[in-house]
Amino acid sequence: MQPSTQFLIAIGGILLFAIAADLIGKHTFLPRVTLLLIFGIIIGKDVLDLLPTVVTNQFDLLAEIALLMVGFLIGGKLTRKSMQENFGKTLWISSSAVLITVTTVSLSLFMFGVDAQLAILLGCIATATAPAATMDVIAESNYKSPFASLLISIVAIDDALGLIVFSVGITLIGLFSGSENSMYPIVGTIREIGGAILLGTVIGLPAAFLTGRLKPGQPSLVEALALVFLCGGLANWLDLSFLIASMVMGCVIVNLAKHHDYPFHAIEGIEWVFLIIFFALAGASLSLESLTSIGVIGITYIIARIFGKILGGFLGAKISKADKATQYWIGPALLPQAGVAIGMALVASIKFPQYQQLLLSVVISTTIFFEIIGPIVTRFALNHIDGPSEHDIN
């Protein structure tokens, strides 16, 4: 069978299952994200091995496109009004969740006999969240409550804070172990995040004033995709965070474009297609063998991360004087964890090869758990607050 034929059949099958996942998700407690991940695992190499190589080889590209769109749409939610309402809460909750999670996971692992350096690395990795999964859970059931708006704001900066903590952790370990160039991770992170903010701003400023002119008030899909792809391509070329760059670009456009109400609304119509393929292929790429080697370290990591996110979210919400429901449910809503954590683990394994095998097996196996269970808890938290609302969060 021709590779093109295999590709078309596989993509068509994945999209058809997504329709079923959407229907099942509306009538059960399972979000469609979790259903697609499970479907991906079933058709992946560890179970039925149905996906041709021509499809799996495109996973990285499709993942970047999906995450670029997610980042852009998250940025589009960060209006001046929503940031004024949520800025204090967002900063307190994000900072508290990140710091308490890294502390809880690191100390818990150290108490169970894990080497201090490895414990710190895993603690830093535990701070990462999953913007794509969280956004889709919110979008799936049309959640537009103040709690959903706050959650989006938190997710928008959570991974940036996590990357900063991760780079500091690597630097401290390097200093204690006497590694050369121990300050490079901090310098590299400042460059990656700062450069991404600058790039998103540089593209977003002219785009805010030039887009939507072909048909007043209706920015075209071509304009939207052109900017998203350009931003992602330049970010990769310059070795910057494409997710942060696309968020900043969306934020700049939504706040400065006065001649249209919502930036590139057309992207929302095609974003789900790329997310379907992204989540299915993400499930197919997960290795179930890693679950068998999770052991005490993996279980400790899972329990400590859950505790850290819940406690951190609670304290941050309490300090920022959020309502009681937000205090109790914002932490559980932050449990999804995905590709950023695996990316951190790969960087750490290169920097500290002596921990490579254990580090990757723990992170990959626990990511499977949080990718499947996390969206379910997020959806439950959103349902518990007040369910879907017809009022726009902006």
Question: What does the alpha-carbon distance between residue 196 and residue 247 come to, in Å, rounded to a whole number?
Answer: 9
- Using only C-alpha atoms, the chain has a radius of gyration, in whole angstroms, of 20
Cβ contacts of 323 within 8 Å, gap of 6 or more = none
Burial of 300 (0-12, 13-18, 19+ CB in 10 A): buried
Task: Name the one residue in this structure whose structure tokens are 């049309």.
Answer: 142
CA–CA distance, 108 with 127 (Å, rounded to integer): 15
Which pairs with CB-CB distance under 8 Å and at least 24 residues apart come from 43-46? Answer: 43/280, 43/284, 44/283, 44/284, 44/285, 44/286, 45/284, 46/286, 46/287, 46/288, 46/289
Segments making up each domain of the chain, as ranges: 3-385
What are the 10-residue block averages of pLDDT along the chain, 394 residues in total? 87 89 80 85 86 86 84 81 82 93 95 90 90 83 80 83 82 68 67 89 89 63 86 92 87 79 62 82 74 78 96 94 92 86 78 80 84 90 67 40
pTM of the model: 0.79
pLDDT digits (tens, 9 = 90+) for 311-370: 999 999 999 999 999 999 999 999 998 767 877 887 787 778 888 778 877 887 888 889
**pLDDT score for 394:** 41
CATH code of domain 3-385: 1.20.1530.20
Residue partners of 331: CB distance under 8 A and separation at least 6: 97, 309, 310, 311, 312, 313, 314
pLDDT (0 to 100) of residue 387? 55
Q: Supply the pLDDT for residue 229.
A: 93
Q: What pLDDT, on the 0 to 100 scale, is given for residue 181?
A: 55
Provide the pLDDT for residue 261.
Answer: 54
pLDDT digits (tens, 9 = 90+) for 19-47: 888 888 777 778 888 888 888 888 988 88
